Amino acid sequence: MTRIDPAPTVTLANGVEMPQLGLGTWPMTDDEAAKAVATAIETGYRLIDTAENYKNETGVGQGIRDAGVARDEVFLTTKMNKQWHSVDGARRACEASLERLGLDYIDLFLIHWPNPDQGTYVEAFEGLTRLLEAGLVRAIGTSNFLPHHLNDLFAAGFVPHVNQIQLDPYHLRPDITAIHAEKGIVTESWSPIGRAGEMLADPAITRIAEAHGKTPAQIVLRWQVQSGFVPAPKSADPERQAQNLDVFGFALTDSDMAALNGLDRPDPDMLDANSFGH
């Protein structure tokens, strides 16, 4: 097995250190997640991302135990569904996730989608703050929150440590990342190298990959971390896991970054957090 040095960390607003690249686990089953997580941690990963809705928290917890690394060396993120969007519901969601994971605490606990039709994501976030005070979680945040959802939290006196969003060179999301920069919120990206492979075949990306002797995925992940984002690519393949983590030993040039930043495009099929959620 190829072993890669663990990723450097970014510091969240409350001082917690979060690895700058992690393993996504959707849509793995429990069995798949147990194997992939164990392999990833043995390879050098220290950030693992799951969610209640992925239905693989049990497997993720098993993979963490099977890897044989001390619990405090692994940064575990999970997310809660919309039925828990209340102050008390957040506590119940956290306790249920901890039971499935077989862990004593969660490093980062997120609201998975705002579900604005319910109108209770501010109360849900208040519940997260109480979990933080109780020591059940080390950091708290949101996932898929748009600017107006974040502004509702700010108006109530809350600022997430992290907002996890779909972000890649085709989806730059500057309206959200500008708010993150202003408020000290870390941007974490899901599907950071795209889903169908179209983006990785883009000539602008393949040209840069050839120039650096890297894979297109490594170029996009290097763009992510060099931009200050925290990507969590999903892979169960040990070789690809190692490649995805091995992006801290080279740098993209200013012209490389400019080329990648010029790939943003409209996407009418992107999930809309005002109407989609679970």
On whether the CB atoms of residues 99 and 129 are closer than 8 A, the answer is no
Compute φ and ψ for 16, nearest 5 degrees: -70, 140
Would you call 45 a catalytic residue per the annotation? no
How deeply is 48 buried, as exposed, middle or buried, from its count of CB atoms within 10 A (0-12, 13-18, 19+)?
A: buried
Contacts of 226 (CB under 8 A, 6+ apart): 251, 252, 257
9-11 and 17-19 strand pairing: antiparallel
Among the listed residues 54, 105, 121, 170, the single catalytic one is 54
Distance CA 139, CA 16 (A): 7
As a whole number of angstroms, the distance between CA 67 and CA 140 comes to 25
Residues 6+ apart with CB under 8 A from 78: 49, 50, 51, 52, 57, 60, 97, 101, 106, 108, 109, 110
Write the DSSP string, 159-195: --SEEEEE-BTTB--HHHHHHHHHHTPEEEEESTT-S
Active-site residue numbers? 54
